[in-house]
């Protein structure tokens, strides 16, 4: 660690990255390390240590652990859930398997005021996720809070600055969670608050330079925020050694492929080769109606084109990927027992026979952090603030079989829709807005003539992470303008409808 900050020792919790993210929100540097390196780690510039939660039981033979070294360093420590149980058993306390599991919300009562509870009410809601609990606190420790099912919901060493929380302060649902973490990091650890996205950029550029070591790096840019920001970071590090290309599947938004290439050239002087593969994708999708089959074909074709293009760079050793932290959670859960609702091809990875080493500079960040870095990298806001776009693109927004005509029709309608939202300054309030072409025809009347034409459905949702979503409440005037313009300007459309379904039970995309 080259910076005064907080070390998070990761015992496998799904929330470890959230802890690091909260610390970054305080402008404090944080680094996540594995328990296997914790014993040998150089703590000389470390202001505080957080022991994360984890899925194991501290008594299991296979459970990750650490030696007692950190307790003698005189650095403040906060153990969360498994982390607190580890502090307990490492100092001769007792942890027991509890019959009363505690999942979700719980009421915390503070038993003893302490700096860590500064500005926290005596009673508040916390979020729990555990079945084991500390039965006997170690000698020299005191209980400082309890909950309904945990006699020791928080403990502290009476002389040293060592704390344990059974609950998770890092999650959004813990009422004063951020305040407690802030109290620990700022008032107890006295960590320096000088970590900014500019520092992140500098440090990451240095790391990439070292990793790439003068070798050729290739990058497939999609036009989305993540791949663009990742590539621009790599460009800063390796300059001309970065070879970027954009594969146009023909299923992108109206003219988006070419525009992205031109925009990167114009604004940050980045050369990205445009690879037009629209015909191939359309040919493969001919007469295919099933959404999952379409996804599979698009995903497979994309990988083929990508591999082919990559081969043309003879000396390339590295590949940039714009993976961000939530992608890793989603792709992990796809391997687990959870039900596959839709297969997201772009998190599935590339074929094993592609022997590139990966450069993934954003893999620990969340979307809003990536956007902030993009702004600091001076990437144009039209790229940074773009709504998320699914890998299979318009292929899953044209319900049923995809044809050249249907792509053109949808691209035009979608462009009008998004243009109106931008003109009316509503685009930025919406998580995702797009048009869908329905596989039905309806009767209309235009200039006394009967028409029998297509229906466009408009979708606009608000969301934080795409996992849950609500439909956006447009004014009548906005909907009127969008509908009028689409019906007047897009040949083949005589009806526009607005989707008022939440997720769940509906999904954001229609396929």
The DSSP bridge pattern shows strands 29-33 and 449-462 to be unpaired
H/E stretch holding 273: strand 272-276
| Candidate list 81, 130, 263, 511, residue with the active-site label | 81
CB of 339 to ligand XMP, least distance (A): 12
If you ran DSSP here, which 8-state letter would residue 39 be given?
A: T
Q: Identify whether 189 is a catalytic site residue.
A: no
Size of the site for ligand XMP (CB under 6 A): 16
Site for ligand XMP in 486-505 (CB under 6 A): 503
Closest to ligand XMP by CB, 143 vs 503, is 503
Candidate residues 140, 326, 400, 466; the one interacting with ligand XMP per rule CB under 6 A: 466
CB of 309 to ligand XMP, least distance (A): 19
Question: Quick one: tokens of 90?
Answer: 């490492």
Cβ–Cβ < 8 Å for 169, 177 = yes
Phi and psi at 493, nearest 5°, equal: -115, 125
Q: What is the largest CA-CA distance in the chain?
A: 89
Closest CA to 322 of 387, 390, 370: 370
Q: Identify whether 263 is a catalytic site residue.
A: no
Site for ligand XMP in 131-190 (CB under 6 A): none
Candidate residues 17, 323, 432, 454; the one interacting with ligand XMP per rule CB under 6 A: 432
Residues 393 and 218: their CA atoms lie apart, in Å, by 23
Closest CA to 33 of 42, 22, 23: 42
Closest to ligand XMP by CB, 284 vs 503, is 503
Residues 78 and 91: their CA atoms lie apart, in Å, by 14
Closest to ligand XMP by CB, 9 vs 456, is 456
| Candidate list 157, 168, 182, 345, residue with the active-site label | 168
Does residue 50 touch ligand XMP according to CB under 6 A?
A: no
CB of 457 to ligand XMP, least distance (A): 14
Beta partners for residue 6, in sequence order = 30, 48
| Candidate list 102, 130, 157, 170, residue with the active-site label | 170
Site for ligand XMP in 318-377 (CB under 6 A): 341-342, 344-346
C-alpha distances out from residue 109 to 154, 285, 343, Å: 10, 60, 44
List % helix, strand, coil for the chain (3-state, nearest 5). 35, 25, 40
Closest to ligand XMP by CB, 4 vs 459, is 459
Closest to ligand XMP by CB, 307 vs 467, is 467
Contact stretch for ligand XMP (CB under 6 A) within 134-142, 166-174, 250-258, 384-392: 384-392
The DSSP bridge pattern shows strands 123-136 and 94-110 to be antiparallel
List interacting residues with ligand XMP (CB under 6 A).
Answer: 295, 341-342, 344-346, 388, 390-392, 432, 466, 503, 507-509
What positions carry a catalytic annotation? 81, 168, 170
């Amino acid at each position: 660690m080259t910076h005064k900050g907080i070390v998070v020792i990761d015992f496998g919790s799904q929330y470890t990255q959230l802890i690091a993210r909260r610390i970054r929100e305080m402008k404090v540097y944080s680094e996540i390390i594995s328990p296997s390196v914790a014993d040998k780690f150089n703590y000389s510039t470390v202001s505080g240590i957080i022991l994360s939660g984890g899925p194991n039981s501290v008594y299991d033979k296979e459970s990750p652990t650490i030696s007692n070294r950190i307790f003698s360093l005189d650095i403040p420590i906060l153990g969360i859930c498994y982390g607190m149980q580890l502090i307990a058993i490492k100092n001769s306390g007792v942890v027991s398997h509890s019959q009363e599991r505690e999942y979700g919300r719980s009421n915390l009562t503070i038993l003893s005021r302490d700096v860590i509870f500064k500005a926290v009410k005596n009673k508040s809601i916390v979020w729990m996720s555990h079945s084991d609990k500390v039965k006997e606190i170690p000698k020299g420790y005191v209980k400082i809070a309890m909950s309904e099912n945990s006699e020791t919901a928080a403990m502290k060493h009476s002389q040293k600055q060592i704390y344990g929380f059974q609950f998770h302060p890092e999650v959004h649902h813990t009422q004063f969670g951020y305040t407690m973490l802030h109290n620990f990091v700022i008032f107890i650890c006295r960590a320096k608050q000088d970590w900014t996205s500019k520092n992140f950029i500098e440090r990451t550029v240095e790391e990439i330079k070292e990793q790439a070591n003068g070798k050729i790096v290739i990058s497939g840019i999609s036009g989305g925020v993540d791949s663009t920001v990742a590539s621009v970071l790599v460009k800063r590090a390796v300059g001309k050694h970065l070879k970027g290309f954009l594969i146009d599947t023909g299923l992108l938004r109206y003219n988006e492929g070419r525009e992205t290439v031109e925009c990167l050239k114009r604004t940050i002087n980045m050369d990205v080769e445009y690879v037009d593969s629209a015909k191939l994708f359309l040919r493969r999708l001919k007469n295919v109606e099933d959404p999952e089959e379409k996804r599979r074909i698009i995903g497979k074709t994309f990988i083929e084109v990508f591999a082919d293009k990559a081969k043309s760079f003879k000396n390339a050793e590295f590949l940039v990927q714009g993976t961000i932290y939530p992608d890793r959670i989603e792709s992990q859960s796809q391997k687990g027992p959870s039900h596959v609702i839709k297969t997201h091809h772009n998190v599935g990875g590339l074929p094993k026979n592609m022997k590139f080493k990966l450069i993934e500079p954003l893999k620990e960040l969340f979307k809003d952090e990536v956007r902030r870095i993009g702004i600091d990298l001076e990437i144009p806001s039209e790229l940074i603030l773009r709504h998320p776009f699914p890998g299979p693109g318009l292929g899953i927004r044209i319900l049923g079989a995809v044809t050249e005509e249907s792509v053109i029709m949808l691209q035009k309608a979608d462009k009008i829709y998004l243009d109106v939202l931008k003109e009316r300054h509503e685009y930025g309030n919406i998580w995702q807005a797009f048009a869908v072409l329905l596989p039905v025809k309806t009767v209309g009347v235009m200039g006394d003539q009967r028409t029998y034409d297509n229906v466009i459905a408009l979708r606009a949702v608000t969301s934080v992470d795409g996992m849950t979503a609500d439909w956006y409440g447009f004014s009548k005037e906005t909907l009127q303008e969008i509908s009028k313009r689409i019906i007047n300007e897009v040949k083949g459309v005589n009806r526009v409808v607005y989707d008022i379904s939440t997720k769940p039970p509906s999904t954001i995309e229609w396929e």
